Amino acid sequence: MIAVLDYGIGNLRSAEKALQYVGADARLVSDPEQARRADAVVLPGVGAFGACAEALRESGLDEVAREAIAEQRPTLAVCIGMQLLFDESEESPGCHGLGILPGVIRRIPPGVRRPQMQWNLVEPVSRDGRSSGLLGDKGEWFYFVHGYAAELGSPADLAGTCQYGATLTAAVERGSLFATQFHPEKSGRAGLALLARFAKACGG
């Protein structure tokens, strides 16, 4: 079972339904004990970094995400869920994420509409055999909604980029952890294909 961590923010239903659509046994889970028993975890997130960090902590699901990543269970983090893997964001000074990946979340540089709210081409980064292949091997278009983006402390974590005024982090990967700044559950066929690959990596 894939647990889509439900800590009470925004639209979580689309992630659950999109995974079910591609045949995965996915469900929204708000109870940490139930989430601990899942084979794989999806950490979604919409809204502000600080509000999500706080809600995740209050739900007790932050520890579930930590354990899943530490135990190398397949984990997919999406949008603010991806940003929460880092420690800090310029969006919410003083608030702390999970601090699992090194780096900081910074405002998208000026000169473009912010937030980026559009489809964009995600180009996979060559990862020398360390890639899960979840992103696919050719560039695909995915839907983004974000005003802030990850500046990585460890370039080896980078899995994909997009161009939006500057080169932005679109996807990161480390071991069994994969994370996207874009929303695969809102990216039509390309997004469903990515989720199907994730479901397969979870063993169904």
Partner 1 sequence: MQAVRIIPCLDVDRGRVVKGVTYLDLRDAGDPVELARLYSDAGADELVVLDITASSDGRETTIGVVSRAAEEVFIPLTVGGGIRSVDDARRLLRAGADKVSVNTAAVERPSLVAEIATEFGTQCTVLAVDVRKTGEAPGRALEQVAGSGYEVVTHGGRQPTGLDAIEWVVQGVERGAGELLVTSMDRDGTEAGYDLELLALISAAVDVPLIASGGVGTLDHLAAGFLEGGADGLLAASIFHFGRYSIAQAREHLAARGVPVRPVYA
Angle at 58 between CA 54 and CA 61, to 5 degrees: 100
Identify which of residues 12 and 38 has a Cβ nearer to partner 1 in the complex: 12
Tell the smallest beta-carbon distance from residue 120 to partner 1 (Å): 6
Is 96 annotated in the active site?
no
Q: Which helix (H) or strand (E) holds 59?
A: helix 49-59
191 binding partner 1? (CB under 8 A) = yes
Q: Return the exposure string of 50-71: e unless at least 16 CB atoms fall within 10 Å of the residue's CB, then b.
A: bbbbbbbbebebbebbeebbee
Is 63 annotated in the active site?
no
The closest of 179, 149, 184, 204 to 18, measured between CA atoms, is 184
**Out of 79, 95, 162, 202, which one is annotated catalytic?**
79
Q: Residue 201 in contact with residue 132, Cβ under 8 Å?
A: yes
166 binding partner 1? (CB under 8 A) = no
Identify which of residues 12 and 84 has a Cβ nearer to partner 1 in the complex: 12
CA distance 76 to 80: 12
Tell the smallest beta-carbon distance from residue 97 to partner 1 (Å): 16
Touching partner 1, residues 83-112 (CB under 8 A): 110, 112
Tell the smallest beta-carbon distance from residue 145 to partner 1 (Å): 5
Tell the smallest beta-carbon distance from residue 21 to partner 1 (Å): 7
Binding partner 1 (rule: CB under 8 A), the pick from 1, 104, 152, 192 is 192
Touching partner 1, residues 14-53 (CB under 8 A): 14, 17-18, 21, 46-48, 51
**Out of 91, 146, 173, 183, which one is annotated catalytic?**
183
The CA-atom distances, in angstroms, between 141 and each of 22, 146, 162 are: 19, 16, 10
117 binding partner 1? (CB under 8 A) = yes
1: amino acid identity, one letter:
M
Active site residues: 79, 183, 185
